[in-house]
Structure 1
Amino acid sequence: MASASLRQSMLAYGSQAMAFSLISSSFNFYYVKVFLDIYHIEQMWFHLAQALFLVWNAINDPLFAYLQDSTSSRFTRTRRESILYAAPFFALSYIVPWFSWGSNPIMVGLHLILTLFFWDTMLTFVGLAASALFTEISQDPDHRLKLVRIGSIGCLFGACSVSILEYTSGSLTNFFGFQVTSICIGVASYLLFRYTGNNGHTQYDREKMSSGIESDITHDKSLQNQSYLSLSCQIIADKNFVSFVVMNFFQIFHTTFMANFMKVMGDELVQLHDIEEFPWLRSFFYGSSRFLPMILIISTTPLIGKIGYYNTIKVSFLWKITAGIGMYMIGRNHPILLMLYMALDSCFANAMFSMFNMPLSDIVDTDMQKHHRSHPISSLVYGNNALVTKPAISLSPMMTVAVLNTYGYQQLDKKTLTVPQISSLHDTMFLLLCIQPIVIGTLQLITWSFYSIRDRKTNQVNKVFTATTDNILN
């Protein structure tokens, strides 16, 4: 019975991973493009929205983390109930940006501000609960490695949303088709989150259920007597946590850049006449950036299990530096090669990011043992991680848009740029695509070297990865 319950919890985790992937991949891929090229938001409003968004990001993660770990309301007493009750609002926050409030610059600016606030509020609340669910379904490292694979399978299915939207909207040329499809995607994500909310039990929930207690508070009651500040100081004092979050800040900066600007830069650097023999290639290229990372994780988990997540992540930084240098030396006049480079850069960055729950879970376990807690403060660890790293989500597009507009991107649609100006803009885009990974990869390689937990758990026998997905779930 316990084994069946564990398998059900793992399947529920995969369900939320698919739901997350469905809406987050397409939201990040399209929202900048839609507000810049369809709603024509003014730069001042774009930067104001991102600046306010950055402040809200710094507040909501620790706030929701503390609420989820130390309060016992119906919305927060279990991880699954947090997901269950927030699911419809999360789906709605995905749909809001795709329906214009009007062409007035103020309305467009307010639309973006509300979009980012609503989206990130629900993303944070559900994301913290889902991340804590990963950590608390089981402390067994084999089970956690199964969850990485199951989550990747869920994300792989969910990543199809970009390809579907590209097809139904004709790369945003048919915006009504885009709107209708986005509603369908939002409804599908809600149903998947609802399944998780009904079936995603942690090991602590299962222990209470097996003892005849069907519902109880899943928190360490002693946490209610400790302030957020004191708990956060205990977390931040850990050098492994500091090493991880600094590295993660740069990873989020890079993945946000690729998610928001791959289409923007891809449309400019790879013109349709450059690939006229393969007219389908660009749409496939955009869609592949969403499912290739998951295929990479699923297919290489046996190798990851052998060398450990620490070395795997380290190798990804070395690849990032090498590939950036190589592409820069080759130049931008090779469109198919440039598309391959962008796809692989996005693929490796997102694939490694999907593994980051592993080191965070080890940090949670270490904190629990060090401070003799009866229950892990998973949400607080994930929340403090987000407190440091989430600003990268705003800083990345702000800095990139500022650079691009300096070289005339805002005037591109007005057809006022000369050929030399357009060439200069394209050179700048290419430079950003190459130099950013080199700099970020170098900084990550340095900061990651201070992480000392290493492969405390991931160096166990790799038998889990030889099983097929059916064996995992049946």
Structure 2
Amino acid sequence: MTSLRQSMLAYGTQAMAFSLISSSFNFYYVKVFLDIYHIEEKWFQLAQVLFLVWNAINDPLFAYLQESTSNRFTRTRRESILYAAPLFALSYIVPWFSWGSNPVIVGIHLIFTLFFWDTMLTYVGLAASALFTEISQDPDHRLKLVRIGSIGCLFGACSVSILEYTSGSLSNFFGFQIGSICIGAASYLLFRYTGMNGHTQYDREKITSGQESNITHDKSIQNMSYLSLTWQIFKDRNFLSFVIMNFFQIFHTTFMANFMKVMGDELTVSLSINQSLPWIQSFFYGSSRFLPMILIISTTPMIGKVGYYTTIKVSFLWKIGAGILMYMMGRNYPILVLTYMALDSCFANAMFSLFNMPLSDIVDTDMQKHHRSHPISSLVYGNNALVTKPAISLSPMLTVTVLNRFGYQQLNKKLLTVPQVGSLHDTMFLLLCIQPVIIGALQLITWSFYTIRDKKASQVFPSEVENIINT
């Protein structure tokens, strides 16, 4: 018989699987296509534009599909993960094997990579997010799920460090390819465990009552159109406040994930002069993946007492203050620049891992407000993605455009003079410092309109929840 403990463990394994492949995919794909495959800017921008459009379509499409159909692939949250897991792992491996050196082929390779990756990321991600919301409505359990998910992500975040080690920071690309295959296979096995054991509270109730053969999530909304359901969701002030704030958060985290290595290698080039020091760069790049999880795990008691609303708000204040301070100190201290980038990425990703809690509260509020028999978790998460996912394309598009205007493409071809390189480095440093300040200020404003601030854990680790995890 399945249990809450088993469902929580299953949620943790999918979090680890997600972290294994998503952290290294986002960290490497831009650099691989720019520096290894030498993709032309026009193809890169075209791929990102098409990717942006697909991003805007597939989330609400798959969300409505998961909520309103009873096919084997959509019957339950766990089965959606189980059957999509092999394709998700394959979508991670596809970008690391070149299709050819022709500019057109490279461009098509990137377009296919982004479409395939995001299709599977969306489908599995929606099911996993809905699983978080529906494992339990108890805020104490959800806070524990955040912690379990962070532990899973902590183990999964090692993928960047593994690939840095096996590839010598991409100098041995064959080693990178072998490492990526191993990581993809490991993620599939973890997703499979979730697909076998990730039951929601509604599933467990039916299993307990002997109705296991009838397990499925409620399909009562199939008589309602997607537009009417979406309108109900978007009329909620809390939802609008959250998704606007989340758009800027994703823009920021995508920027750090895609360009931390690109900019870090350039701004700390003096470290590479002494061949005994390049490991420092790899350490900081890898730490940006596991530090957010350590931060969440260690501060869970504080989050339980203060509440996620205040915790997230404080992170915006830190983002503004740290950006201003780093800009004032300058870029002449390579170790300090690496530390700032690691911490900026750390706080941004740590707060992002809390975002399932406000979204779950929005789902619960929607369920009560509209007297639904079952939460429409996938639709809420899907419409959140409808607004926020374009940031995944806009961030690299805008950044690559700015960098190329200051000669980044010529830098790779060794065509820049020393003054031009200095100008490019100044631009990179400006982006690293000023962008978080602007984004943090906008987030402070939009987050102030969110009003669900009293649904937080009354007790961080109640004995019954602690027993569930420790048994």
Report the TM-score when normalising by structure 2: 0.98
Q: Return the letter of the residue paired with 1:381.
A: V
Shift of 1:278: 3.5
Give 1:14's aligned amino acid.
G
Q: What does 1:119-130 align with in structure 2 at a 5 Å threshold?
A: 119-130=117-128
Instruction: Map 1:65-214 onto structure 2 (within 5 A).
Output: 65-214=63-212
Show the counterpart of 1:44: 42
Q: 1:155 to 1:466 in 2, by over 3 A?
A: farther
2:298 corresponds to: 299
| Distance change (3 Å), C-alpha of 1:464 and 1:33 | farther
Which deviates the most, 218-227 or 248-257?
218-227
Instruction: Indicate yes or no: 2:365 matched with 1:366.
Output: yes
- SS of the counterpart of 2:72? coil
Alpha-carbon distance in structure 1 between the residues aligned to 2:24 and 2:53? 24
1:22 alignment counterpart: 20
Partner of 2:448: 449
**Is contact 1:93–1:118 with CA below 8 Å preserved after alignment?**
yes
8 Å contact kept, 1:12–1:195: yes
Shift of 1:242: 0.0
Q: Please say if residues 67 and 219 of structure 2, whose CA atoms lie closer than 8 Å, have aligned partners that are also in contact.
A: no
Contact kept, 8 Å, 1:62 with 1:384, in 2: the verdict is: yes
CA distance in structure 1 between the partners assigned to 2:155 and 2:429 by the alignment = 31
Decide whether the 8 Å contact of 1:11 with 1:473 is kept in 2: no
Mark the CA change 1:275 to 1:310 in structure 2 (over 3 Å): closer, same or farther: farther
In 2, the alpha carbon distance for the partners of 1:326 and 1:271 equals 22
Q: Distance in 1 between matches of 2:421 and 2:114?
A: 31
Query: Is residue 271–residue 277 contact of structure 2 (8 Å, CA) maintained in 1?
Result: no
Identity of aligned residues (%): 83
Tell me by how many angstroms 1:415 deviates.
1.0
CA contact (8 A) 2:17 2:186 kept: yes
Do 2:5 and 2:468's aligned partners in 1 also have CA atoms closer than 8 Å?
Answer: no
- Find the counterpart in structure 1 of residue 328 from structure 2: 329
- 3-state SS, counterpart of residue 461 of structure 2: helix
Q: Tell me, yes or no, if the aligned pair for 1:251 and 1:353 is still in contact at 8 Å.
A: yes
Cα displacement (A) at 1:463: 2.8
Is the 8 Å Cα contact of residues 220 and 375 (structure 1) preserved in structure 2?
yes
Number of equivalenced pairs: 470
Distance apart, 1:472 and its partner CA? 1.4
Gaps of 5+ in 1: none
Residue matched to 2:469: 472
Tell me, in whole angstroms, the C-alpha distance in 2 between the residues paired with 1:158 and 1:100. Answer: 25
**SS of equivalent to 1:180:** helix
Q: Deviations over 1:12-50 (max 9, x none)?
A: 000000000000000000000000000000000000000
Instruction: Identify the residue that residue 58 of structure 1 maps to in structure 2.
Output: 56
Question: In 2, distance between residues paired with 1:457 and 1:467?
Answer: 17
Tell me by how many angstroms 1:319 deviates.
Answer: 0.1
Task: Work out the CA distance in 1 between the residues paired with 2:26 and 2:305.
Answer: 33
Cα shift readout 1:358-408 (whole Å, capped 9, x = no counterpart): 000000000000000000000000000000000000000000000000000
The residue number in structure 2 matching 1:32 is 30
Change beyond 3 A, Cα 1:167–1:467: farther
SS at match of 1:215: helix
Distance in 2 (CA, whole Å) between partners of 1:458 and 1:348 is 21
What is the alpha-carbon distance in structure 2 between the residues aligned to residue 435 and residue 177 of structure 1? 36
**8 Å contact from structure 2 (residues 313, 447) kept in 1:** yes
What does residue range 201-280 of structure 1 map to in structure 2 within 5 Å?
201-216=199-214, 218-273=216-271, 276=274, 278-280=277-279
> Which residues of 2 match residues 421-460 of structure 1 at below 5 A?
421-454=420-453, 456-460=454-458
The AA in structure 2 aligned to 1:142 is D
- The alpha carbon displacement at 1:457 in A equals 2.0
Q: Which residue of 1 aligns with 2:380?
A: 381
Task: Using the TM superposition, give the Cα deviation of residue 464 of structure 1 relative to its aligned residue in structure 2, in angstroms.
Answer: 4.2
Superposed displacement of residue 459, structure 1: 4.5
Match for 1:359: what amino acid?
Answer: P
1:445 & 1:249 partners in 2: Cα distance? 13
Q: Cα distance 1:438–1:96, how it changes in 2: closer, same or farther (>3 A)?
A: same
Which SS does the other structure have where 1:416 is aligned? coil
- State the alpha-carbon separation in 1 of the partners of residues 336 and 139 from structure 2: 39
Q: Distance in 1 between the 2:353 and 2:371 partners?
A: 29
How far apart in 1 are the matches of 2:127 and 2:289?
23
CA-CA distance at 1:226 after TM superposition: 0.1
- Name the SS of the counterpart of 1:280 in structure 2: helix
How many angstroms does 1:465 deviate by?
9.5
Contact 2:140 2:457 in 1 (8 A): no
Asked if structure 1 preserves the Cα contact closer than 8 Å seen for 2:7 and 2:135, the reply is yes
User: How far did 1:215 drift?
Assistant: 3.0
Partners of 2:212 and 2:375 lie apart in 1 by 20
Query: What is the rounded CA distance, in whole Å, between the counterparts of 1:147 and 1:368 in structure 2?
Result: 21
Query: Is residue 91–residue 189 contact of structure 1 (8 Å, CA) maintained in 2?
Result: yes
Residue 272 of structure 1: how far off its partner (Å): 4.7
Note the alpha carbon deviations across 1:93-130, whole angstroms, 9 max, x for none. 00000000000000000000000000000000000000
Unaligned runs of 5+ in 2: none
Q: Distance in 2 between matches of 1:275 and 1:304?
A: 43
CA contact (8 A) 1:302 1:465 kept: no
Cα distance change, pair 397–466 in 1 and its aligned pair in 2 (3 A): farther
CA distance in 1, matches of 2:97, 2:242: 38
Report the Cα distance in structure 2 between the residues aligned to 1:183 and 1:337, rounded to whole angstroms: 34
TM-score of the aligned structures, taking structure 1 as reference length: 0.97
Deviations 1:325-382 (A, max 9, x none): 0000000001111111100000000000000000000000000000000000000000
